[in-house]
């Protein structure tokens, strides 16, 4: 059934001996196996599933010094004894290679990537939690493994996939978002469109400061003028203004979210007008004040869709959306999750069933 994936007897034993804990949050419990595939001499080697274990790397390994690293986030669903399903895995594969290209790393063939993520969902199917909103979170990633302290691109890489039975990423339904007017997440010509660790490392100080101020997430604005809304540190942004669903138009500094793309399609199918444009924060705040903006929400694979209750300035000024019932976000979330979990008809052929 698998052309590339090789599974060791130790991996099978590790799966047999694993028990899914009764409680887990997001990303803490890790499945007992992992996938490893090395790139050297210009080609990808064997795709192996082995017991979960630490990996040994030379301290000069390039990833430690120059951050040549990329990753993806995706989920396998198995709610109410349906599935297991993967959701648009080819989209994660193509974004992975887009990130690889931007970071000067080896691209990975589609069949290797898809076998790796399918194999992890397949062999770990008993560890897919089965309540609505829960899933097996899959984390494909790749690191640069040349042992050399010079600043130059690696020519060897390690691709791996981990799996984590997970609850929803954000469980609170009251999210306060900090409008970040000092730092920038991504700049023109930079790596914002790639899913590379450095983008996230650079966002952490802002998230620490937001937390200290009592806020939960950071809203990033464009680096040059600090005026156009871009996205959150791990999610895309939407607003409902006069009944129209708005989202920032993609630029090279915004991650092209797969959830974002699905929501645009779902909203259109539900009859909403969609507008992708440069959204000015100053205008949005006025629209929240005059109540023409009735909802703001954020979306991503891990978090699904989370309504924003308040947009906040550093000095504590708050623009509240708590009067809104978040009906559009709720409808989009129920539709998307219903499709992902096989509870609603998959009219767009987004879902792959693992046999």
Ligand X SMILES: Cc1ncc(COP(=O)(O)O)c(C=O)c1O
User: Side-chain half-sphere of 67: how many Cα atoms within 13 Å?
Assistant: 12
248 binds ligand X (CB under 6 A): no
Residue 182 CB, nearest distance to ligand X (Å)?
18
235 binds ligand X (CB under 6 A): yes
Residue 185 CB, nearest distance to ligand X (Å)?
7
Do the beta carbons of residue 190 and residue 254 sit within 8 Å?
no
Residue 209 CB, nearest distance to ligand X (Å)?
18
Residue 111 CB, nearest distance to ligand X (Å)?
21
Among 29, 175, 184, 258, binds ligand X (CB under 6 A): 258
Residues within window 264-323 making contact with ligand X, judged by CB under 6 A: 300-301
Binding string, residues 58-97; x marks residues near ligand X by CB under 6 A:
---------------x------------------------
Q: How far is CA 196 from the centre of its chain?
A: 11
48 binds ligand X (CB under 6 A): no
Q: Identify which of residues 5 and 75 has a Cβ nearer to ligand X in the complex.
A: 75
Residue 42 CB, nearest distance to ligand X (Å)?
29
Among 84, 234, 248, 307, binds ligand X (CB under 6 A): 234
222 binds ligand X (CB under 6 A): no
Tell me the longest C-alpha to C-alpha distance in the chain: 64
Distance CA 286, CA 309 (A): 16
Among 106, 114, 229, 255, binds ligand X (CB under 6 A): 255
Which letter does DSSP use for residue 4 in this model? S
Residue 315 CB, nearest distance to ligand X (Å)?
26
Q: Which residues of 219-252 are buried (b: 16+ CB within 10 A; e: fewer)?
A: bbbbbeeeebbbbbbbbbbbbbbeeebbbbebee
218 binds ligand X (CB under 6 A): no
Do the beta carbons of residue 133 and residue 167 sit within 8 Å?
yes
Do the beta carbons of residue 153 and residue 37 sit within 8 Å?
no
**What is the torsional sign of CA 353, 35, 14, 17?**
negative
Q: How many residues bind ligand X (CB under 6 A)?
A: 12
Query: In 3-state terms, the chain is what percent helix, strand and coil (to 5)?
Result: 25, 30, 45
Nearest to 251 by CA among 327, 173, 190: 190
Do the beta carbons of residue 262 and residue 350 sit within 8 Å?
yes
Binding string, residues 124-163; x marks residues near ligand X by CB under 6 A:
----------------------------------------
Q: Identify which of residues 20 and 250 has a Cβ nearer to ligand X in the complex.
A: 250
Q: Identify which of residues 145 and 303 has a Cβ nearer to ligand X in the complex.
A: 303
Q: Identify which of residues 96 and 123 has a Cβ nearer to ligand X in the complex.
A: 96
DSSP secondary structure, 195-259, as one string? --HHHHHTTHHHHHHHHHTT--EEEEE-TTTS-BEEEESSSEEEEEETTEEEEEPP-TTS---HH
Q: Given the structure tokens 């909802």, which residue do they identify?
A: 295
Q: Identify which of residues 119 and 300 has a Cβ nearer to ligand X in the complex.
A: 300
Q: Identify which of residues 220 and 319 has a Cβ nearer to ligand X in the complex.
A: 220
What residues line the site for ligand X (CB under 6 A)?
Answer: 73, 231, 234-236, 255, 257-260, 300-301
């Amino acid at each position: 059934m698998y052309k590339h994936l090789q599974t060791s007897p130790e991996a099978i034993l590790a799966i047999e001996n694993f028990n899914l804990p009764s409680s887990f949050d997001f990303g803490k419990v890790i499945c007992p196996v992992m996938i490893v595939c090395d790139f050297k001499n210009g080609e990808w080697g064997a795709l192996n599933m082995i017991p979960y274990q630490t990996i040994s790397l030379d301290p000069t390994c390039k990833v430690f010094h120059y951050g040549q690293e990329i990753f993806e986030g995706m989920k396998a669903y198995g709610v109410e004894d349906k599935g297991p399903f993967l959701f648009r895995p080819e989209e994660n594969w193509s974004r992975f290679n887009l990130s690889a290209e931007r970071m000067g790393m080896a691209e990975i063939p589609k069949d290797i990537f898809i076998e790796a993520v399918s194999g992890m969902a397949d062999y770990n199917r008993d560890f897919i939690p089965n309540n609505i909103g829960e899933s097996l979170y899959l984390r494909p990633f790749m690191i640069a493994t040349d042992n050399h302290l010079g600043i130059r691109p690696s020519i060897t890489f390690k691709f791996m996939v981990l799996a984590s039975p997970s609850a929803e990423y954000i469980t609170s339904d009251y999210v306060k978002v900090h409008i970040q007017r000092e730092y920038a997440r991504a700049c023109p010509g930079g790596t914002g469109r790639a899913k590379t660790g450095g983008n996230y490392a650079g966002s952490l100080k802002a998230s620490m400061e937001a937390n200290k101020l009592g806020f939960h997430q950071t809203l990033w604005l464009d680096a040059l003028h600090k005026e156009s809304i871009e996205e959150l540190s791990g999610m895309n942004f939407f607003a409902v203004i006069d009944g129209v669903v708005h989202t920032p138009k993609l630029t090279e500094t915004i991650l092209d979210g797969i959830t974002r793309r699905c929501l645009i399609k779902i909203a259109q199918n539900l009859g909403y007008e969609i507008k992708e444009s440069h959204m000015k924060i100053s205008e949005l705040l006025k629209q929240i004040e005059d109540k023409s903006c009735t909802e703001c929400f954020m979306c991503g694979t891990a978090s699904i869709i989370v309504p924003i209750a308040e947009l906040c300035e550093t000095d504590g000024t708050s623009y509240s959306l708590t009067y809104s019932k978040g009906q559009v976000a709720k409808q989009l979330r129920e539709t998307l999750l219903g499709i992902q979990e096989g509870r609603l008809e998959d009219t767009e052929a987004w879902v792959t069933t693992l046999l």
